Amino acid sequence: MFTIINVIVLLLIILFLQYLNKKHVKFSNRVFIALILGIILGLILQLIYGATSEEITNTVAWYNIIGTGYVKLLQMVAMPLVFISILSAFTKLKLGNNLGKIAGLILLILVGTTAISAGVGITSASIFNLNASELVQGEAEKERGASLEEKSAEVTTLPEQIIELLPANPFLDLTGARSTSTIAVVIFAAFLGFSYLRVVRKDEETSKTIKKLIESIYSLVMGVVTIVLRLTPFGILAIMARTVATSDFAAIYNLGKFVLASYVALIVVFFIHLLIISLSGLSPIMYIKKSAETLLFAFTSRSSAGTLPLNLKTQIDRFGVPDGIANFAGSFGLSIGQNGCAGVYPAMLAVMIAPTVGINPLNPSFILTVIFVVAISSFGVAGVGGGATFAAIIVLSALDLPIALAGVLISVEPLIDMGRTALNVSGSMVAGITTSRVTGELNKETYQNPVLKELGEA
């Protein structure tokens, strides 16, 4: 009975958001309103039922139809969007001879900012004097630690991880079956693009037919993307209500110092992103204004892959980044050089855990080793599944630190992962914008235009 009431409340809020849409309230405003209403609804549900009650479990199962369902729809369009956008960039002659330079710059920025993120993480952990031995381990934490030790057996060498990026079966990768599928699809699309350029030189009539077909498919896919993005306020509402309703505030309080230290580090790295934008001769204020909706969704959904369509639309429509560069930056950023998950997080864990085995975390050689290992590992995390968990396993294994101690943070993982995901997405957008600026391909008029193009528009 209570579950039905909770679902009806959610549906009434959705009807209210739809009413705002009919009244032509701006898309960005509706997204923000949905976020606030989701937080309020989640708090009310937790206060009435408690985070672990049966009513909350049943309610969340229904809320997931909208929240998780929306993320799945975004993931549905992500792979076709990446594939056809990169192929379309070749037909529009926006890639080709510059491909190597573009890919190299994007990778350099992604991995370079991850190394910087590691340094920030180390500094934050040191300032807050974090020590894993001071944290209490319950049964859930011990189980999590044991699970991490088992997963450490899946870690492969860097050469093997790089090989995993290659598309042995591109049709399998188009389904997103592997953790490295997105990059594999990028590589496959690039090969088809170069093949198209050869056809242009040898058979102009055939190339026109191919170009028309690609442009038609591109229009079709972008239409699907637009339809899905219009559901963003509903998705954020359900995701935020679920997240707040199921949050363990007692655990967050007990691990408050680690949560605070994590967010201080994440915010500092975000300011470094703004500094990079400024050094590129662009307005950081405009970056914040135009990326806010995308970063907000990344924050609430905790899914870089789910945020990819929003990421690409923001880069192309709001920042003036060419299609090809935006797709390379967004796709690579899913599994290479993740500033939050592969940079800040494993570096902080290393500093926390080091004292438990008698290592001085402030030793300069140890700090440099951690930064180096984090930077290299961030390039290969995708080979073993991606995400903060495997990034931490790789780094801790390489430093010969006990992996199980990372399990003590299981109760605050969702809260911290929200900030990490938003930072990952920001890092990929900064890579796309900066690369476009360096290569002279950024549409500066689009970037500086204060009028926001709605992400839900075709």
The confidence score (pLDDT) of residue 386 equals 45
Residue 152 has pLDDT above 60, yes or no: no
Work out the average pLDDT over 120-142: 74
pLDDT confidence tier of residue 387, bands split at 50, 70 and 90: low
**Is pLDDT larger for residue 139 or for residue 36?**
36
Q: Give which of 311, 317, 344, 343 is closest to 329, Cα–Cα.
A: 311
Work out the average pLDDT over 104-116: 93
The confidence score (pLDDT) of residue 371 equals 92
How many CB atoms lie under 10 A from the CB of residue 134?
12
pLDDT tens string 239-254: 989 988 887 777 676 6
Which of 7-21, 239-253, 334-348, 371-385 bottoms out in mean pLDDT, i.e. has the lowest?
371-385
Work out the average pLDDT over 160-183: 79
> Using an 8 Å Cβ cutoff, are 286 and 448 in contact?
yes
Average pLDDT of the residues of the chain: 84
Give dist(CA 230, CA 45) in Å, integer: 27
The confidence score (pLDDT) of residue 384 equals 40
Q: Give which of 149, 129, 155, 104 is closest to 373, Cα–Cα.
A: 155
Residue 410 has pLDDT above 90, yes or no: no
The confidence score (pLDDT) of residue 65 equals 93
Residue 407 has pLDDT above 90, yes or no: no
Give dist(CA 230, CA 236) in Å, integer: 11
pLDDT confidence tier of residue 443, bands split at 50, 70 and 90: very high
The confidence score (pLDDT) of residue 144 equals 52
Work out the average pLDDT over 165-175: 84
Give dist(CA 399, CA 375) in Å, integer: 13
User: Measured in Å, how far apart are the chain's first and last C-alpha atoms?
Assistant: 41
Residue 13 has pLDDT above 50, yes or no: yes
Give dist(CA 285, CA 273) in Å, integer: 12
The confidence score (pLDDT) of residue 120 equals 95
| Backbone angles phi and psi of 155, in degrees to 5 | -65, 130
The confidence score (pLDDT) of residue 121 equals 94
Residue 153 has pLDDT above 70, yes or no: no
The confidence score (pLDDT) of residue 411 equals 66
What six digits make up the tokens of 176? Answer: 């997103």
The confidence score (pLDDT) of residue 272 equals 97
State which amino acid sits at residue 338: Q
Work out the average pLDDT over 252-259: 77
Helix, strand, coil content of the chain in percent (nearest 5): 80, 0, 20
Q: What percent of the chain has pLDDT over 70?
A: 88
pLDDT tens string 412-438: 777 888 899 999 999 999 999 999 999
Residue 131 has pLDDT above 60, yes or no: yes
pLDDT confidence tier of residue 265, bands split at 50, 70 and 90: very high
Cα Dmax for the chain? 71
The confidence score (pLDDT) of residue 28 equals 78
pLDDT confidence tier of residue 385, bands split at 50, 70 and 90: very low
